[in-house]
Amino acid sequence: MQNWFENKRFFWATMLAPTVWFLAFFVAPMALVWAYSFGENAGPVNIAITGTFGNYAKAFRPEILQVLSDSVVLALIATLICLVLAFPVAIAMTFADDKTKSWLLLLIMLPFWTNLLIRTYALIAMMRTEGFINFTFAFFHNIAVSLGFNLGDYVPMELLYNKSAIVIGLVYVHLPFMVLPLYAALDKLDRSLIEASLDLGAGHLTTMWKIVVPLALPGIAAGLVITFIPAMGAYLTPDLLGGPNDLMIATLIERQFKRANDWPFGSALSFILMYVTLIFFALRTFFEARGGKVSAH
């Protein structure tokens, strides 16, 4: 890594555009909302910025912590399932010829170019009590019965309106967020390493675990970040697929900005999520920087 002043022109040339954009169109708008998080409602529209921490204090109510921890767990499970599903797909892409690779990429992405809402409706049509999954199972069940197996009547599975439905929905919606970074990290990797490993008699799985997974680590890390965080922020999927006990944090935040018309509290909740992220990544960068220095010597 180069120090910026050793190559100032190139540094500015590459750094300026994204930084300025970020400051102008993200930091500036969000600064307005950040100020609200220290404000109090003064009428239906006005917010008095009083410097209060009351909105943050409200966020530590037990029901909100409950919703938050539920959301973390659900998003985490969905993210791990995405990783398991996506890894072999990324491997296949990595070792496929260009044409197959392009088709695979397209086939993975194509479903996501249809509207999320109608895709979720379709998922509901699959999973409901009188849905296609239950029809399929009932069909085979009845065949088995007609073949003489004594199974009794088919009892449809209750697939919707519970936590597993939310997880399935989150996986369905966020899978490409895991496939793409893995593909990006692995594509055109140095095959000689793998060939060497295989030549030395290591099995495919061992090679995969010892050679490919380490190479994929940056991609896995990126995938975990851009899958987990948006999954935490999902509101439509949990709203439509979840049961009476399943409220996720994004829905709760959304309602503060809408029905409750409590922008200060909504901002405080949003910014708590952002503070946590900021601290997490700052620590990571800090430790990476220290680790980097140590290993450089």
Partner 1 sequence: MSKKPQRAPLEYSKSFRLRAWIFGVLLFLYAPLLILIAFSFNDSKRNIVWKGFTFKWYVKVFENDALREALFNSLIIAVLCTIFSVILGALAAFVLWRFKFPMKGLLESGLNLPIVVPEICMGVGVLMFFNKIHWPNDLPWPISLSQIIIAHITFSFPFVAVVVRARLESFNKELEAAALDLGASQWRAFTDVIVPHMTPGLIAGALLAFTLSLDDFVITFFASGPGTITFPIKVYSMVRFSVTPEVNAASTIIIVLTLIATAVAMKFQDTSPNKENA
Partner 2 sequence: MAEIKLTPEETALFLKGNSRSRRAFMAAFGATAAAFSIAACSKGSAPAAKDDGKIVIEGSEKAPLKFYNWDTYIGETTLDDFKAASDVPVEMTLFASNDELFAKFRAGNPGYDVIMPSNEYVTRMAEAGMLQPLDHSKIPNMKNIAPEFLDPDFDKGRKFSMPYTWLVLGIGYRKSAMKDGAAPDSWKYVLDSDQYKGKISLLGESMDLFRLTFKYLGHSVNDYTPELLKQAEAILVKQKAFVKNFHDDNGQDLLLSKEVDIVIEYNGDIAQVKKEDDDLDFLIPKEGSLLNSDCMCIPKGAPSPNNAHAFINYILDAKVGAAISKTILYPTPNAAAKALMDDAYKNNPIIFPPADKLAKCEYGKFLGQEYAQSIESAMNRVRAAK
Residues in contact with partner 2 by the rule CB under 8 A? 41, 43-45, 61-64, 66-67, 70, 125, 128-130, 160-161, 239-240, 242-247, 252, 255-262, 265
Q: Which stretch binds partner 1 (CB under 8 A): 48-56, 68-76, 112-120, 151-159?
A: 112-120
Rounded least distance, CB 175 to partner 1, Å: 7
Rounded least distance, CB 295 to partner 1, Å: 14
Question: 194, 212 in Cβ contact below 8 A?
Answer: yes
CA-to-CA distance for 55 and 57, rounded, in angstroms?
Answer: 5
User: Can residue 188 be called a binding residue for partner 1 (CB under 8 A)?
Assistant: yes
In 3-state terms, what secondary structure has residue 148?
coil
Backbone angles phi, psi at 247, to 5 degrees: -115, 130
28: its two tokens: 């500036």
Q: Which of 74, 78, 123, 247 binds partner 1 (CB under 8 A)?
A: 123
Picked from partner 1, partner 2, none, the partner binding residue 206 (CB below 5 to 8 A depending on kind) is none
Residue type, 103: W
Picked from partner 2, partner 1, none, the partner binding residue 277 (CB below 5 to 8 A depending on kind) is partner 1
User: Can residue 267 be called a binding residue for partner 1 (CB under 8 A)?
Assistant: yes
In 3-state terms, what secondary structure has residue 41?
strand
CB atoms under 10 Å from CB of 67, counted, come to 19
Residues in CB range of 217: below 8 A, 6 or more apart = 185
What's the Rg (C-alpha) of the chain? 24
Backbone angles phi, psi at 234, to 5 degrees: -70, 140
Question: In degrees, to the nearest 5, what angle opens at C-alpha 72 toward C-alphas 66 and 76?
Answer: 150
User: Can residue 88 be called a binding residue for partner 1 (CB under 8 A)?
Assistant: yes
Q: Which is nearer to partner 1, 61 or 204 (CB)?
A: 204
User: Can residue 156 be called a binding residue for partner 1 (CB under 8 A)?
Assistant: no
Q: Which stretch binds partner 1 (CB under 8 A): 49-57, 147-155, 156-164, 281-289?
A: 281-289
Q: Which of 161, 263, 264, 265 binds partner 1 (CB under 8 A)?
A: 263
Residue type, 35: A
Q: Which is nearer to partner 2, 67 or 82 (CB)?
A: 67
Question: 173, 116 in Cβ contact below 8 A?
Answer: yes
In 3-state terms, what secondary structure has residue 23?
helix
Q: Which is nearer to partner 1, 33 or 145 (CB)?
A: 33
Q: Which is nearer to partner 1, 59 or 222 (CB)?
A: 222
Picked from partner 1, partner 2, none, the partner binding residue 109 (CB below 5 to 8 A depending on kind) is partner 1
Residue indicated by tokens 């499970």: 77
89: its two tokens: 């797909």
Rounded least distance, CB 263 to partner 2, Å: 8
Q: Which is nearer to partner 1, 127 or 246 (CB)?
A: 127
Q: Which of 142, 260, 281, 290 binds partner 1 (CB under 8 A)?
A: 281
Question: 187, 92 in Cβ contact below 8 A?
Answer: no
- Taking CA atoms, 250 is separated from 104, 113, 280, in Å, by 32, 23, 20
Question: What residues from 7 to 36 belong to the interface with partner 1 (CB under 8 A)?
Answer: 7, 9-11, 14-15, 17-19, 21-22, 25-30, 32-33
